[in-house]
Chains A and B, each alone.
Chain A
Amino acid sequence: MEKKLDKLIIDDTEYVTEIPDHCRKPYKCVPDPSEITAFIPGTIVEIKVSEGDSVEAGAILLLLDAMKMHNEICSAKRGIIGKIHVCEGDSVQKNQLLISLIYPE
């Protein structure tokens, strides 16, 4: 079975070739610090902040129960809680957005 040929650019030269599916997945190398996401699937045990709160870097935002552990989810930087997307007791998927933070310039 012939697969569709695509273009791949290396050192400004455009090659006509096959690109396997797993090479097409977008790759996010630096996480966005304003998006607090679940690094593991689990349950939200406790939310320690409210929308509009100012938080310091390292402040505990919520507790995520996963792997029989209460995992402390912290803020990477000083900022303001923009929106809380989950409630206590919610089951969350891996990489699900939990809290959006606003960082002052």
Chain B
Amino acid sequence: MSIMKSVNDFLTRLSSKLKGGGDKAIEKQKKKGKNTARERVEDLLLDEDSFLEIDLFVEHSVKDFGMDRKELAGDGVITGYGKVHGRPVAVFAQDFTVAGGSLGRAHSKKIVKVMDGAAEAGIPLIGINDSGGARIQEGVESLCGYGEIFYRNTKLSGVVPQISVILGPCAGGAVYSPALTDFVFVVDGISNMFITGPQVIKTVLGEDITQEELGGAFTQASITGNAHFYAKSETEAFNTLKKLLSFLPANSNENPPVRSSIPPDQPLGDDVIPDNRRQAYCVKDIIRGIVDASDFLEVHKHFAANMVVGFARLAGQPIGIIANQPRVLAGVLDVDASDKAARFIRFCDCFNIPLLTLVDTPGYLPGADQEHAGVIRHGAKILYAYSEASVPKMTVIMRKAYGGAYIAMCSRHLGATFVASWPCGEIAVMGPEGAANIIFRREIAAAENPVEYRQEMIREYEEKFANPYVAANKGYIDTIIRASMTRETLIKVLSRTGLSRKGRPHGNIPL
């Protein structure tokens, strides 16, 4: 074959491979409002012309069930390397137009290769899931493929950031690769995740539930907490993903990327929160008043809304924020909030991201359902995560810090680097009402006017304990600051605490 003939032959083969499942299948994909795998990788995720594809010419070697006559372009997955805002990443995208994106041996080997590539280069791994599941014709070979991916997801955990974008079905065993990664994105009307689908549930249990209700995007983002980010479109999901990457280092040996400092749009005044401890407010307003450019990327926005977590910058340095949300359930700790906070703290600790904890919580949510759902076991995860974390840990007590929840929210006792309180901070075993009822039970019962006497005792307790000075006297709080001084103070703390720890301290187990 002459050189030009071989080049032409190559170009013919290439154009056929680049078409994935062909025009008809692409049209079907488009009709569902979905982009093709190639568009997702090249147009939505990566910087222009940065994609280096590998293994496009990989083919399966299955002979059973007529598979020997089937040619599957790239075996249903696109893999390679590219750049996001100039920083390298490894990527794979399942191609639903090729045999429904089903996972066979060759398909999984391609994914495994880029995973190993991500480990070797120390760069984030981004997986785009759009697959009908295991390629049944391949039997155990397909299961082997899943297993090898799960194994690497686990070994890579805490080494490089792993992000999954669910852009189609992701059912059965396939759900566990995303579940092992650090962040999962879902898109309204496109993503679906479940172990057993609505059909099986109908057959076995006789229960009717739609695919959307069972495992649609919003279900996964709000009820189960499997998804960390919920977007209305694929474009929105990828834009948020790029923003997320801007806070993260490429691997656990590096520090997160620092930018220049931008003051918040609306700096905090001293009277930002209601002084009545029973009154709600939105803690996100406080966060925006502290961080650079008032820019806060919230994680798990729709799940366990009584706890707010997310990324922001302080004087250009990325930080992870964990905050009680008095607007929802008065900011209590419960099962879901504990899981949410603990996993976020551990992620930040893996990737050298300092923590800022904003405290205003009345305690744990009372109730038999919480106890039976394991609030002891789940609540313990916050204590573990904070105590374990070796990144700088800054805590600001804004108002209430009661009982076990005070300890759990990154108190000095769990190894906080720096603890401040606003002047309205209340560090106590419980709120004045409950405390007065217990301490002065006999006196209240014996009083001539119990209601009036009780109010008096509540006031006495408030004066004595509903302030930050007792804790500050003992040195459990390093300083008392006005709300308006918060940003300035935290920047001072950050500038003195270096991020010197290197290496993988631990993985980021799904909690």
Contact = CB atoms under 8 A, between A and B. Distances in A.
Interface string A1-31: 0000100101111111111101100010100
A16 B341 CA distance: 23
Interface string B424-439: 0000001111110100
Given A27-B369, A29-B368, A13 B280 contact: no
A54 to B, nearest CB: 33
Contact of B328 (A18, A40, A91): A18
B204 to A, nearest CB: 6
A11 B204 contact: no
Contacts of A19: 328-329
Given A11-B433, A23-B329, A91 B206 contact: yes
Most buried by B among A17, A93, A94: A17
Nearest to A68: B204
B279 A16 contact: yes
Most buried by A among B329, B431, B437: B329
A93 B331 CA distance: 37
B446 interface: no
Contacts of B280: 5, 15-18
B88 interface: no
Contacts of A79: none
Chain B interface bracket (under 10, 10 to 19, 20 to 34, 35 or more): 20 to 34
Contacts of B363: 10-11
A12 B434 CA distance: 5
Contacts, number: 80
Contact of A18 (B207, B329, B403, B432): B329
A82 interface: no
Given A8-B330, A42-B206, A13 B369 contact: no
Contacts of A17: 280, 326-331
Contacts of B430: 11
Contact of B330 (A10, A40, A42, A67): A10
A66 B203 CA distance: 10
A41 B205 contact: yes
Contact of A15 (B207, B305, B330, B369): B330
Contacts of B433: 11-13
Nearest to B276: A16
Contact of B362 (A15, A67, A94): A15
B283 to A, nearest CB: 12
Interface string B342-376: 00000000000000000000110111110010000
Contact of B327 (A18, A23, A40, A66): A18
Contacts of A15: 278, 280, 326, 330, 362
B386 interface: no
Interface in B388-405: 402-403
Nearest to A67: B204
A78 to B, nearest CB: 27
Contacts of B279: 16
B450 to A, nearest CB: 14
B223 interface: yes
A13 to B, nearest CB: 4
Contacts of A18: 280, 305, 327-329
Contact of A13 (B305, B372, B431): B431
Given A8-B332, A16-B280, A27-B368, 15 more contacts: A8-B329, A10-B363, A10-B365, A13-B431, A13-B434, A16-B279, A17-B326, A17-B330, A18-B280, A20-B305, A27-B367, A27-B369, A29-B368, A41-B206, A93-B206
24 contacts: A8-B329, A10-B330, A10-B332, A10-B365, A11-B362, A11-B363, A11-B402, A12-B431, A12-B437, A13-B278, A13-B362, A13-B434, A15-B278, A15-B280, A15-B326, A16-B279, A17-B326, A17-B328, A23-B329, A23-B365, A42-B206, A93-B206, A94-B205, A94-B207
Interface of B: 204-207, 223, 277-280, 305, 326-332, 362-363, 365-369, 372, 402-403, 430-435, 437
